[in-house]
Structure 1
Amino acid sequence: MTPAIFADLQHRHAEPHRAWHDWARISAMLAMAEEVSHALADKPAFILAILFHTAVFDRANPQAEAESIRVMHRHLGRILPPPMLARAEALIHAVLRQELPEAEDPGLRADAALLLDMDQAVLGDPPARFEAFEAANRREYAHLPEDRYRAGRIAALQMLLWCDRIYHTDRFFLEREKRARRNIADALRQLGADGIL
């Protein structure tokens, strides 16, 4: 990875419409990746997925996921082996779609589970940190009127509570599941969703 590529990624993550999906978040995910590096099946691909999964970010752009992957291939297609990029691409799809890949490779599924949990880690943060995330999330949806945002956010948070587990891995489940559910329930009450909890 060249300094120019890092500079481009940092520039992209400094865009003014990013209230949460900024470089500080990427740095935090990289730090978490170091903590779990012993458990990763393919650390290089995992790191690439973190770096590039929000290279293009715009809540109003449904093509942002595909464009992020194109940015990765444009930067690295001539530098890194195709299998590594393909694995990183599968991980990016997993985190942006919030679902484990349908793959027979247990290592890929395990890495995807960790990446998904890291992406959702903030749900189980202390309440003040979670509230800051919720406020930042609203700013990233500034293009939506309040009633549409509230309805969509209530639905998204309620779906999380209906899951048997928010976190896929035991590590995150044991550390964060209970607090995540409390945070989400509090957010739903603040959004006026008491009747559907």
Structure 2
Amino acid sequence: MTPVIFAELQRRHAEPHRAHHDWARIAGMLAMTEDIAHALADRPAFILAVLFHTAVFDRTRPDSEARSIAVMRDMLDRTLPRPMLDRATVLIHAVLRQELPETDDPGLRADAALICDMDHAVLGEPAARFMAYEAANRREYAHLPDERYRAGRIAAYQMLLWRDRLYLTDRFHLEREKRARRNIDAALDRLEEA
């Protein structure tokens, strides 16, 4: 990846409407990627997905996912192999939809599970970090009135708690599941009291 493309990604992630989905988050996900590099089936495609999955980010539009993929392809189509970009595209779809791809490729499914878990890693952070995330998330939804935001957030958290497991991989499940559930329960209490 060229310095120009890297700088463009940093510029995009510095947009003023980003409070959580910023470059610090990407840097954190890249650091986690290094920690799990041994478990990845396709590290280059995984890193591309991390770098580009929120290249376009606008909470008021439903097409950020497609636009992020288009940015990646526009920037890299002539320089990287198509299979790598195709795999990164599948991973971007997985992380933004929070669902594993339908594929016979176990490595791709495993990489998708890891990127989904990395995306939700903040749910299992210490309470202060989780509360900072909650505040940042609210700023990203500043266009919504409080009542609508609360209703949507409550529904989203309740749907998460209905799952048998918040995290798809054993690594994240063992490290973060209990704390994530405590954080979500506390967030629901605050949202319901507001």
Question: Which TM-score band applies after superposition, normalised by the shorter structure?
Answer: over 0.9
What is the total number of aligned residue pairs between the two structures? 194
Letter in 1 for 2:93: H
Rounded Cα–Cα distance in structure 2 between residues aligned with 1:38 and 1:180: 25
The residue that corresponds to 1:141 in the other structure is 141
Rounded Cα–Cα distance in structure 2 between residues aligned with 1:126 and 1:133: 11
SS in 2 for 1:138: helix
Rounded Cα–Cα distance in structure 2 between residues aligned with 1:9 and 1:63: 18
Displacement of 1:156 in angstroms is 0.2
The residue that corresponds to 1:104 in the other structure is 104
Rounded Cα–Cα distance in structure 2 between residues aligned with 1:78 and 1:15: 27
**Are 1:163 and 2:158 counterparts?**
no
Q: CA offsets per residue over residues 25-84 of structure 1, 9 Å max, x none? A: 000000000000000000000000000000000001111110000000010000001000
The residue that corresponds to 2:79 in the other structure is 79
Displacement of 1:192 in angstroms is 0.8
Rounded Cα–Cα distance in structure 1 between residues aligned with 2:140 and 2:98: 18
Q: CA offsets per residue over residues 131-161 of structure 1, 9 Å max, x none? A: 0000000000001000100000000000110
Rounded Cα–Cα distance in structure 1 between residues aligned with 2:103 and 2:93: 12
Letter in 2 for 1:21: H
Identical residues among aligned pairs (%): 75
The residue that corresponds to 2:129 in the other structure is 129
**Are 1:15 and 2:15 counterparts?**
yes
The residue that corresponds to 2:175 in the other structure is 175
Query: Is there any run of 5+ residues in structure 1 with no aligned partner, and where?
Result: none
Correspondence list, 1:46-65, <5 A: 46-65=46-65
Rounded Cα–Cα distance in structure 2 between residues aligned with 1:166 and 1:100: 13
SS in 2 for 1:191: helix
Rounded Cα–Cα distance in structure 2 between residues aligned with 1:64 and 1:187: 26
Rounded Cα–Cα distance in structure 1 between residues aligned with 2:191 and 2:63: 29
TM-score relative to the length of structure 1: 0.97
Letter in 1 for 2:150: R
Q: Cα RMSD between the aligned structures?
A: 1.0
Rounded Cα–Cα distance in structure 1 between residues aligned with 2:89 and 2:24: 22
TM-score relative to the length of structure 2: 0.99
The residue that corresponds to 2:30 in the other structure is 30
Query: Is there any run of 5+ residues in structure 2 with no aligned partner, and where?
Result: none
